[in-house]
Structure formats: structure tokens, C-alpha cells
Amino acid sequence: MSIETLKLEIQQKRTPHFAKVVAGVLIAVGAASCSLSSPTTETQRASTERAASLVILNARVWTGEDRTTEAGKSVGMVEPTALAVVGDKIADVGSDASVRTWIGSGTKVIDAQGRRVIPGITDSHAHIISGGKQLARLKLRDVRDRQAFVQAVAAEAKAKKKGQWVLGGRWSVESWSDPASPTKDWLDPVTGNVPVFLSRMDGHSALVNSAALRLAGIDASGPTDPKGGEIERDPATREPTGILKESAMDLVSRHIPDSSPDEKYEALLRAMKHANSWGITSMHDMFAVGDLETFRRAEKEGAATVRITVYWGVTDWQSHTDEVSAYGLESDMVRLAGFKGFMDGSLGSRTAYLRQPYSDASPEMQYPRGQLTAMADPPGTFQQNVAMVDSRGLQIAVHAIGDEANHLLLNAYEYALQRNGGRDARHRVEHAQHLHIEDIPRFVTLGVVASMQPFHKADDGRYAEDRLGKERLEGSYAYRQLVDSGALVVFGSDWPVVTLSPFAGIDSAVNARILTGEVWLPSHSLTVEEALRAYTVLPPKAIHREDRLGTIEVGKLADLVILTEDPLAIPKERIGEIKVDTTVVGGEVVYARQN
């Protein structure tokens, strides 16, 4: 699908831009008097000389507001059934009767037919452009065995022209009857001279063929492993197997032709459209160098339908701090918040960094505790970099999965807090999958955000106990323990690593089901409402935007979702089946389900 086609689809679903601008100017005139407890009277509303641009009636509105007192007692409130939007902001929340008075000749009225309305969903950790590209690439996530894997690669390679690569993948073998790791020997007979680069599900290792290895100059004689990475080799012959881990992937990926600006833009439009179909109105993106201009282009051209907060994934923070500070992006659609970094790899690739060796580590395993990345080595330098960025008022979001990687990262945040006198920085741990029990209270003490992806538990539960042993699981996927401690926990997907569906994530966080169908670590689970808050109410707080987003309240931006079923009413075992009926961003319908 072309850029123009995607843009046309987006624009056809949006309300007139002029009305939005005018309404945005006028919203301040009367919004302060509009509330659920004291609705605006018809006389007051008439004085503003405008009607709502959007009204939703006959709904069950979950506002996301905290309904407890300081003593912890629930405050009884009548559940709203309707809301009105003027421009891009919520103007009224209340009963059908009160909200109907906002309807004018130009008002778009949606009858929710008794469905549940929730605040817009935020995916707090994603790779948007990468996900948009993956939508058009080879998908191996759901293949069931080696034969299907090879057949899919063969068909893709056959369709390529000279100079093109087979890209995509997101493969995982753990659920196969024979979970042997793939090698280049699987690929070479069906790909020939077509180079192949297929990321593993978690993105921390990749499978390549001999054609790709030749381009990178990798063979039995060398090169040596790069810092923070591993070229997997046959122990007897030293011949590369085709599996590259962590930074070793760069040896091949640097030879993949860059996407053109238009290709990246088309991938972004495709990704936003896909996100809207899941009720996602905001995303926190762990983005690559060069992606920022693509985001800004979408905003400038009026094609942005997802609010994007970005963390720049560069390894040299020192050289780029002035550049990040200078951007000063504070729009409601695209914001540059700070830096993204890495402490370690993943559990599936056995590169997550642990205090003790992997329980299933083989004698020949080169890194039995996993790997600290180049950014975290030496730790003293990393601490200085964290303190430097913190002193500049920027946010930091760092990938940490292993228990010792998380411990070292919290140490670095604590060092910055002590050195700089402390501020409400809300630095982040991305993933926080495996924790030492004694480190859990430190998230609250240090004001650190636990940015977690619950569907990873569904994936990793197939092999985590083998990797870690039972004893270390006490601090694994510790949603319950972190929430009970008072930590700020937000949820995302890590798309395209796994599905973008927030309902798959809620299902995992609540029902503790893994991909084999078993229930695993149920004592770590959350309630449905707690998981829903981690996708709606709390993510804006993680980026200092709780005054603008996260709840359905008068004066906040009108990001809303109408669901096909009510997650707060249906049996919790069915939450993963929920679909989205309508998605609204800034008062504009950006997705409507086709019946």
C-alpha cells in the first residue's frame, strides 16, 4: 500500500481540521465549569456559542479516575454513560441527558450501544517503525516445525530480485516437538546467493545464511567476537553456525541496504494504522537514529494518529546530550524524552545477565551468566553517564532483563540521585523481568518506573524455569510484588517482538497462561483493573504527562476507546478475545471496526 493511500485512509476518518482548531481555542472558555459532579448548565453552554465536535452516548464509561480516599475507602460514584468532546479535549462526562445538550448540527454522535469506553491505550515499549516494516516482511512467529520454517524462507527467497535480502523472522523454536536451534544449514540449500537475516523472537539474536556471512567476512578463521556479542561456532571446526548474538548481529546487519525516507514513512503509517486497530492512542518508542524526522514528518503532514514519546537509542550519550536537549519537542503528538540504553540481552538467547550462572548452562557455554553489553561495561563509566544525563533533566530508559543487570542499573540510578540531589526524574527500567527480591522496594525508593511487557511471560514461561531454576523465579515477572510495593508499573508489548494486542498482555498479566496453555506463576498476577490501569492511566505518569492524558476527565485530551466487550464484566478467561470497536485520538475517530 502506498503512502498516499495510507494517508487518504487516515484523512477520511478525521473530523475537519478547522473545526478542531476553532474548538481548541474556545475550550478554555467553559471547560472549567464542566464536571461529572457539577455538569455545565444549558445556559452556560450556550454562552460559549459552540456545540461539541463529538458526543458518545449509551456507553459504560470507565474514567480511570482514582475512586478511593486517602483512608483507602471507595468513593461511591454513578458510572457515566456519555461524554462530549470539543476540539481535541473532553468537555463533559456524565449522563446521556446532560451530554445530549452538547449536540449541535455539526456534532458527530456515536451510539456506543452499551459498550465499555476506556481511556486511550498506551503501549509503553515498542519499536514503531521496525514493527511497521515487519508487517510487510517474512513472518516466522507461528511456524510449527523445521519443515514449515524452511518452506517459508524458500518461498520468500524465490521472490527476491538480485541485491534484495530476506528479512523479518521473529522465530522461536521452544514450542516445537524438536526445539533444536536453526542453523545456516537449514537456509543455504533454499536461498543460494540471496542473503538472509532473520531475527529471533526477542531480537537479541539472529539467524543468517552463508551468503550473508560472506558479505560480513565471517568464516572459520575470524573475526573474534565483538564486545558485547557472540558469533556462535561449531566447537570442533570453528565454522560459524549462522547464529549471531547481541552486538555480533551488527557485523551482518550493517550490510543490509538502508530503507529510504519514504519506505520508513510508509512503515510508520502502516504501524500507526495497526496500532489504532488495537485501541492504541499513544506509544513510547525505543527508536533508532534517524527515525525522529519520520515521526515529525507524520505530525507536520497531519497523518499522525498515535502520540509518540521517543527515547533515542544511541550508545554514546555524552556526545548527543546537547542535541537531545536542543530538540525540546513538547508537542502532544511527538516528544523526545531522553535516551534508551542496554544493560544485557534476553533470557531466550541466554544473554540476560545473571548473578549466578544459568541453571542449564553447558560446560562449553562461553558466557554462563549471560552478557553485560558494551554500554554497561565498565559499570563505573555507565554510572557517570547516567548521572550526567540525569543532571541535564532528561529521562533514561534502559533495557535490563537479568537479575544482576537490574541490580546494577538500580545502583546507577541511585548514584545519580545521590550525586545530583534528587529530582522527580522517573527514570525507567525496560522489561525488569528478573529481579532480586531485595531490589523490588528500590523502585519506589528511587522513583523508578518498571516498564514491563506481560506477554513476554507467556513466551518465556515455556523455558524460564529450565534457565533459572525454581528459586530465582520468586522475583521473575513480579507484577504483583512491584504493584504491592507501590512501584509505578506500566505495560507495553515490545512489538514487533510479540503481538501488539494489549488484550493479550492483560490476559497474560491476569490469567498467567503461557503459550503451552499452562498456568504459570499465578501468584504474581494482577487484577483486571490493575492491568488495565497499567495500559491506560499510568503510562502518562511515566512520561510526566498525567495532567494531559490517561483518564477520561474534563480538560484532558480526548483519547478514547470503545471495546466490543467489557473487560471488567466478562469472565477474565475471555479477556484475550476482546476487540476494538472505535478508537478516538484527540477527538477524531481514527479507527472504526467494520461489521
52 and 176 belong to one structural domain: no
Interior CA angle at 563 toward 557 and 566, to 5°? 115
**Cell triple for 498:** 510479540
In the numeric block, which cell numbers belong to residue 181? 536451534
Which cell numbers hold the place of 238?
Answer: 570453528
Reading the chain (595 residues) residue by residue, the pLDDT tens digits are 555 555 555 555 444 333 333 333 333 333 333 333 334 444 444 434 569 999 999 999 999 998 654 555 555 568 999 999 999 999 999 999 999 999 999 999 999 999 999 999 999 999 999 999 999 898 898 898 999 999 999 999 999 998 899 998 888 888 788 988 999 999 999 999 999 999 987 778 899 999 999 999 999 999 999 988 899 999 899 999 999 998 899 999 999 988 899 999 999 999 999 999 999 999 999 987 778 899 999 999 999 999 999 999 888 888 888 888 877 666 899 999 999 999 999 998 899 999 999 999 988 888 999 999 866 567 688 999 999 999 999 999 999 999 999 999 999 999 999 999 988 999 999 999 999 999 999 999 999 999 999 999 999 999 999 999 999 999 999 999 999 999 999 999 999 989 999 999 999 999 999 998 999 999 999 999 999 999 999 999 999 999 999 999 999 999 999 999 999 999 999 999 999 999 999 999 999 998 7
List all residues 6 or more positions away from 345 whose beta carbon is below 8 Å from its beta carbon.
204, 205, 245, 246, 351, 352, 353, 370, 371, 373, 401
Q: pLDDT value at position 35? A: 36
Of 566, 578, 561, 594, which Cα lies nearest the Cα of 120? 561
Cα 192 to Cα 195: distance, rounded to the nearest angstrom: 8
Residue pair 341/314 in contact by the 8 Å Cβ criterion:
no
Sole residue written with cell 557455554: 365
- CB atoms near residue 254 (< 10 Å): 10
In 183-265, DSSP assigns E strands to 196-200, 205-208, 229-233, 240-246
Q: Are residues 91 and 233 in the same domain?
A: no
* Final residue belonging to a domain, choices 104, 120, 136: 120
CATH of the domain at 47: 2.30.40.10
Q: Are 368 and 357 in contact (CB under 8 A)?
A: yes
Query: Total structural domains in the chain?
Result: 4
Q: Look at residue 562 and tell me if it is in a domain.
A: no
Range of the domain at 158: 128-253
- Determine, yes or no, domain membership for 577: no
Q: 279, exposed or middle or buried, with CB in 10 Å at 0-12, 13-18, 19+? A: buried
Does any domain span residue 185?
A: yes
Q: Tell me, what CATH number does 133's domain have?
A: 3.10.310.70
Report how far residue 155's alpha carbon sits from residue 555's, in angstroms, rounded to the nearest whole number. 53
Give me the pLDDT at residue 294, please: 95
Whether residue 389 sits in one domain with residue 526: yes
Q: What is the pTM of this model?
A: 0.83
User: Both 322 and 348 in a single domain?
Assistant: no
Contacts of the segment 505-508: beta carbons below 8 A, 24+ positions apart: 505/453, 505/454, 505/455, 505/531, 505/535, 506/454, 506/531, 506/532, 506/535, 506/567, 506/575, 506/576, 507/575, 507/576, 508/454, 508/455, 508/457, 508/458
Q: Judge if 363 and 241 occupy the same domain.
A: no
